[in-house]
Amino acid sequence: MRANAQAFLLLSVQLGLSAGQAQQQQQQQQQRPLAHSPHLIHNSPLQDHGLASQHQNGHGSSHVVVPSYRSSLLSLHRALVNIPSVTGSEHDAALLLRDVLIRQNYTVALQPILPASSSSSSSSQSTSDAGSPRRYNVLAWPAAASSSGSSNSSSSSRSSRHDADAPPTHLAHRILLTSHLDVVPPWRPYRINETAVPPSEEVDYASLARATRLGGRGSVDAKAAAAAQVVALGELLARGEVRRDEVALLFVVGEETDGVGMKTFSRSLSLSSFSSSSVSSSSSPAGGSASGKEKRIPLRAVIFGEPTTNLLACGHKGILLATLRAAGRAGHSGYPELSGARSATASLVRGLAALLDAQPALGSSERFGNTTVNVGTLRGGVAANVIAEQASAQVAVRIAVGDKDTGLALVRERMEAALRRVEGGQGLRLDGVMGYGPVECECFDTMVASYGTDVPNLDGDHVSYLYGPGSILVAHGEDEALTVGELEDSVEGYKRLVRHAAGY
């Protein structure tokens, strides 16, 4: 992305209403729990600063009713989507959010995600040993009320690197809104109603109809949730509907692959990870007891942002990730019966067929439905006229039986039993098995998801909610998109969830 385009994106987001500005400019109108009571405004935040375009750009019609936060919401969503952040390259998206949140009077800590080969002493470097930018979780909490309204407050004073030597005890008993910054490949640019919109092109957000579709990689999964959470919490703070010391934001990396971002944050809440002096100097309460249960900094509730079509998910299936490996004996393809060769690729095909045929026997439940098997990638052999010695396939199994702790072992045992029935299991094995069983979340009514999330990667006794805009059915596809209305409705949904979790 060109430097001037990046500057425009950052400027347009930062000039959106901050929590302090919104408090001064808010309309005197009661908000309903969901976004069905918007009011007409004549100037969007960008228009107030002289930046919003007055022409239509072919993206919508004028004189539409919009919520007061629309420009802040859509400009942040657009800025995030326009930054490529395929898993492993989330650095720029993290820094954008850091700058936006500091401007909105949050204290922000960047939590480094170190490569496995790096030592803790290198955590202060801005790049990894290989020269690539660092990956960061972005953790933010509202600044003290005394500094929240000060325009002279130094940005650097509200930004810090995560202190790996001290537990984040200030998070105790807070409500945490969280989503992830990474996306699946390939990156696709931001578009409005299927038309690509360059980062430098100005858009009159107030003119867009609620049915306008906003697309691009991450526009649904899960930069829509990230943008909506930032705006929702800003709204609640500006209106005094939650206290500054009871909420926080967290945006993590690596959710689409190994969950390393959330796992790193989860470890930071374990007091066993810190020296006794660091723990004893803490003034905040911690969970756990002397009975041997791990002592952790307790969170009150965690709201995970994922595409649930703005329905509150009651949980989601577990997952088993593994590589099915087949071993054979190489030989000439013209004389397999004479050379004693055995084809690994043929064995792999039969093993995969056995797993697919065994899906009904892998288990089902009333809440989560059927356990399903997906064959993701295939590798094997060296040439068409050589009997393959090695072959492998990566599989992802969505687990619908057992619970978070037992489901993985149940399904693995049944898969291995199915493989033993293929040529006596000769040369077939499951390798690198990892995952977890079905996860349940607090819910009112609505839906169960068939995809994995970061919910099981965050340990603790907190209440978990799973909620967000957009449909998972388009999340990883070339037509990934959601409507302006869906994005705005999710802001109201997050506000409702935070109020519910806080007991208001």
Sheet of 428-436, strand order: 372-380, 390-399, 318-327, 428-436
- Structure tokens belonging to residue 225: 């949730």
Which pair of structure tokens corresponds to residue 224?
Answer: 């829509």
* Residue of 255, 306, 442, 486 marked active site: 255
255 is catalytic: yes
Nearest residue to 142 (alpha-carbon basis) of 283, 241, 75: 241
Which burial class, exposed, middle or buried, applies to 244 when counting CB atoms under 10 A from its CB (0-12, 13-18, 19+)?
A: middle
Burial string for 217-241 (b: 16+ CB within 10 Å, else e) reads: bbbbbbbbbbbbbbbbbbbbbbeee
Q: Show Cβ contacts of residue 360 under 8 Å, excluding neighbours closer than 6 positions.
A: 370
User: CB–CB of 212/475 below 8 Å?
Assistant: no
3-state DSSP of 116-147: CCCCHHHCCCCECCCCCECEEEEEEEECCHHH
What is residue 198's DSSP assignment?
A: -
Tokens of 29: 């109108």
Residue 125 tokens read as 């470097």
Rounded-to-integer distance, Cα 395 and Cα 377, Å: 7
Residue 409, Cβ neighbours under 10 Å: how many? 13
**To which H or E segment does residue 214 belong?**
strand 213-215
State the DSSP string of 76-123. HHHHHHTS--BTT--HHHHHHHHHHHHHTTEEEEEEEE--TT--GGGT
Structure tokens at 434: 């990892």
Which is nearest to 65 in space by CA: 484, 468, 481, 492? 484
The pair of three-digit structure tokens given for residue 119, joined into one six-digit string: 């030592």
Q: What dihedral angle (degrees, nearest 10) is formed by the CA atoms of 381, 384, 386, 389?
A: 10
Catalytic residue annotation: 255
